[in-house]
Chains A and B, each alone.
Chain A
Amino acid sequence: GQNIDQPTEMTATEGAIVQINCTYQTSGFNGLFWYQQHAGEAPTFLSYNVLDGLEEKGRFSSFLSRSKGYSYLLLKELQMKDSASYLCAVLDSNYQLIWGAGTKLIIKP
């Protein structure tokens, strides 16, 4: 079956760096998305990786290793507003989105 794994919850301190991991086993691969979702709001697009390597976008970076079925989202200089759920989703061979359950990130002062 198809599966996406990411930690349920993580806690980090304001100003620090946190890495949220995502591992996947899917039938085919056409890219991996990271979304941020605040409670009661729609998910916001953060990144899309289809090739191996690191993509940096401001305080957020996303890494992909297709051979390992692994990605991570790196958040630097954490701010209180970064407290949210972070969703990992893979586009499979049928261009269907397979979603992780999300990682709830709690930022403490």
Chain B
Amino acid sequence: GAVVSQHPSWVICKSGTSVKIECRSLDFQATTMFWYRQFPKQSLMLMATSNEGSKATYEQGVEKDKFLINHASLTLSTLTVTSAHPEDSSFYICSAREGGEADTQYFGPGTRLTVL
């Protein structure tokens, strides 16, 4: 099946610094990529949807200036958490979809962010 990777797997940073997380589709071209945040034993919270070459669409309540998303190519999207604070500590998961809404969404393994 299709593979989606994330890098890094985990990251620890100091408060106030910025962290970039990469999401790659390894064997298909992802027209659309999604970024989620997951709290323990809870549903995935959609943060934003990005289409290659265009600006990301952010969900209500998600600060676009704090969570910068770049979908520069059909195989790569990045999420940058700017000026990170301890409350940003979470498990960030990306997913990628090749075609339209009916297509399968493939999920990445997640990136665990801890902000000290």
Interface residues, chain A, CB within 8 Å of chain B? 35, 37, 39-40, 42-45, 48, 87, 89, 94-99, 101-102
| A residues near B102, Cβ cutoff 8 Å | 39
Q: Is the C-beta of B58 less than 8 angstroms from some C-beta in chain A? A: no
Specify which of A40, A43, A97, A101 is in contact with B104 (CB 8 Å cutoff). A101
- The smallest C-beta distance from A70 to any residue of chain B, in angstroms, reads 19
Q: How far is the CA of A89 from the CA of B107 in the complex (A)?
A: 10
Q: How far is the CA of A59 from the CA of B63 in the complex (A)?
A: 37
| A residues near B44, Cβ cutoff 8 Å | 35, 42-43, 45
* A39-B101, A40-B101 known; A97+B43 contact, CB < 8 A: no
- The smallest C-beta distance from A101 to any residue of chain B, in angstroms, reads 5
Q: Is the C-beta of B64 less than 8 angstroms from some C-beta in chain A? A: no
| B residues near A89, Cβ cutoff 8 Å | 107
The bracket for how many chain B residues form the interface is 20 to 34
Listed from nearest, the 6 A-B pairs whose CB atoms lie closest are A96-B109, A42-B46, A99-B107, A45-B43, A44-B43, A97-B110
Within 8 A of A (CB), among B99-113: 101-102, 104-110, 112
| A residues near B2, Cβ cutoff 8 Å | 101
Tell me if A45 and B41 are in contact (CB < 8 A). yes
Tell me if B107 and A87 are in contact (CB < 8 A). yes
Tell me if A35 and B110 are in contact (CB < 8 A). no
Q: How far is the CA of A45 from the CA of B41 in the complex (A)?
A: 7
Q: How far is the CA of A102 from the CA of B107 in the complex (A)?
A: 10
| B residues near A95, Cβ cutoff 8 Å | 10, 112
